Structure 1
Amino acid sequence: MKKTASTLIAGACLALLANLACADQLADIKAKGVFTCGTLGTAEPFSFSNTQTREVEGYDVDFCKALAKSLGVKLELKLISVAARIPELQQSRIDAVIANLGWSAERAEQIAFSDQYFASEQKVAARKDSGFTTLKDLTGKRVSAVKGSSSEMLVRKVIPGASTITFQDPPSAFLAMQQGKVEGLAASELTLVKFRQQSESTVPIAILEPSLMLEPWGVGMRKEEAGFIKHVNTTLEAMEKSGEALQIFNKWLGTGTSYKMQRGFRIEPIKG
């Protein structure tokens, strides 16, 4: 019995749909030969533009590079804002987010997180001439933060009555504090250390205690991509065992840098 043209077309369509259903992100990335990694480009030393080479580089960028290498494909960096990190991922405009992305229960409902590749103290700074020394001093005050950041959410949770004034990037949030438009600035400790160094000769700042929290950072991925998630975590584990992850830390944050930090964390599953 001969097959009609419509039957053949229907069969071809079903085969195509089956192939699409079986396809996954890991296979797609390898097929196109490009891994698109979303990062900030404005957060030194994690991802920022080198003024001499005009290339985006940093701690987060090196992890983007390591993942691209593990996949055997080229790396494409896409610069995104803090607020756009999750939307860009959910809309499949990027393959993963490596952009100062701290874990939170709210974010974990929307996307998948890898094992932590960094752990960040979230703190608040104030101008030294304010006389503020602790978080309690900012009760009911205005605190600047980057829009959509963990710092923004933490200020509301931790400091009674404080209001957040948000900006698109850390330098703008810092400038608002320097100009007296807000009383405090919430950001990662590393960001605040850098700003403190920059402002010593102009308007000195003090980093207040205690911390808002110790925040684990992970690679952000789409929840349904089990194969890709497994590959990312396997790569991170290998980087920890080989010492590559420690080398990246020392390169950007270690004792030979202006931050003079020692690594106090390991790559391991995030305990939410």
Structure 2
Amino acid sequence: MFCFFFNCDILLESRRIGEVRMKKIIALLLTFSFVFCLGGCTNPFQKDTETEKSQKPKVITSIKTEGSMKGITLKVGVSPDMAPFTFKNKQSGEIEGFDIDLLEALSEYLGFDYVLVVEQIKDIEEDLEEKKIDCAISGISITDSRQEKFKFTDSYFENSMTLITNKNVVAESKKDIVHMKLGTEKGTSEHEYLLKYMKKYNNKIITYKNMTQVYRALEKGKIDAAIYDSTGVEYYLKNHPNSNIVVVEKNLYEEQSDYGIMCVKDFHYMDELNVAMKQIDLSGQYQEIYNKWFREETKQKE
């Protein structure tokens, strides 16, 4: 019996020694594994700095932007019939307007030169698609259809459309415009609006080369109504106090009427233009340009 217990004690002691050795071996293996991971494994809690660097957005400050486009010459399309934004001065023959002064301010800030390409809106869009010009500025509305083909800056002027008629037409809103002749400049956002919302009421859409022809036709009663940018309508009526044209409804299509500079799809200086416009606004220069053309104490675009 004594031998039996003695042998059991020996066996238990051997078992304890084996367990201690096994724990030491496991601890040693874990230590090697930890060291190996420090050298080659990815820490799941460690930030991937390379990924963060690659995803970091481009930041352009006013300091970096000013003068950043020196040596660059842009071909800029402008319409001669978009008063007061771009139009031909009858006395000097020069293109002038709110947009031209804004373009000049951008040129001075960024340092680029520009060449004006004078043509109608429809031709401007065609030349942009063919990359014959770089950008265009002429009270051009930022519409969904245009954004599919071109790239726009942030809006620089808030606007909407106004329905106008000959004074002999009886109408209180666009709902009354049925079975009538409607005039518009071909290829404009107004043309798009009439085709989308007004033609279905059995109205006939008549296109003209420019807004000067539209106004003339409406004054003479050759067409019944037209839709045009609100600011343009106000400017026209202010300069034609004896006009036969009356305003029927305002604030149409506001979500598709704000103005922006329209450029080719792969234009590389959009950020620079946006920063420059913000700086021109903050400096008070935008307000000065606005007051020059609209003579109001508060600007349209905040």
CA distance in 2, matches of 1:91, 1:78: 14
Give me the whole-angstrom Cα distance separating, in 1, the residues matched to 2:245 and 2:262: 32
Task: Tell me if structure 2 keeps the 8 A contact 1:158–1:212.
Answer: no
Larger Rg: 2
Please show how residues 201-220 of structure 1 align to structure 2 within 5 Å.
201=242, 203-214=243-254, 215-220=257-262
Structure in which a larger fraction of residues adopt strand: 1
Match of 2:116 in 1: 77
Q: In the TM superposition, what is the alpha-carbon distance from 1:222 to its structure 2 partner?
A: 1.8
TM-score scaled by structure 2?
0.70
Structure 2 letter corresponding to 1:96? C
Equivalent residue runs for 1:165-184 within 5 Å? 165-184=206-225
Give SS of 1:76's match.
Answer: strand
Which of 258, 263, 271 is the matching residue for 2:299?
Answer: 263
Q: Structure 1 residues 94 and 67 mapped into 2: Cα distance closer, same or farther (>3 Å)?
A: farther
1:128 aligns with 2:167: yes
> Are positions 1:119 and 2:161 aligned together?
no
* Aligned residue number for residue 54 of structure 1: 93
Tell me by how many angstroms 1:54 deviates. 2.6
3-state SS in 2 of match to 1:145: strand
Aligned residue identity for 1:223: K
SS of 1:36's equivalent in the other structure is strand
Aligned partners of 2:160 and 2:250 also within 8 Å = no
- Residues matched between the structures, number: 230
Query: Could you say which residue in structure 2 is the equivalent of 1:190?
Result: 231
Contact 1:143 1:163 in 2 (8 A): yes
Aligned to 1:146: 185
Query: Deviation at 1:262?
Result: 4.2
Structure-2 residue corresponding to 1:232: 273
Q: Does residue 245 of the first structure (1) align with residue 286 of the second (2)?
A: yes
TM-score w.r.t. structure 1 length?
0.77
Identity of aligned residues (%): 22
**How far, CA to CA, are the matches of 1:233 and 1:130 in structure 2?**
43
1:156–1:163 Cα contact (<8 Å) kept: no
TM-fit CA distance, 1:94: 1.7
Give, in angstroms, the shift of residue 87 of structure 1. Answer: 1.7
The structure-2 alpha-carbon separation of the partners of 1:30 and 1:88, relative to structure 1 and needing over 3 Å to count, comes to: farther
8 Å contact from structure 1 (residues 37, 64) kept in 2: no
What is the CA-CA distance between 1:148 and the residue it aligns to?
0.6
Structure 1 vs Structure 2 CA RMSD: 2.0
Give me the whole-angstrom Cα distance separating, in 1, the residues matched to 2:298 and 2:205. 31
Structure 1 residue 75: deviation in Å?
2.8
CA distance in 2, matches of 1:216, 1:125: 19
Q: Once the two structures are superposed, what CA deviation does each residue of 1:182-223 show, in whole Å capped at 9, x if it has no partner? A: 11011112222233345543x522111143222111101122
When residues 94 and 126 of structure 1 are mapped into structure 2, their CA distance, relative to the original with a 3 A threshold, is: same
Structure 1: distance between partners of 2:241 and 2:170: 16
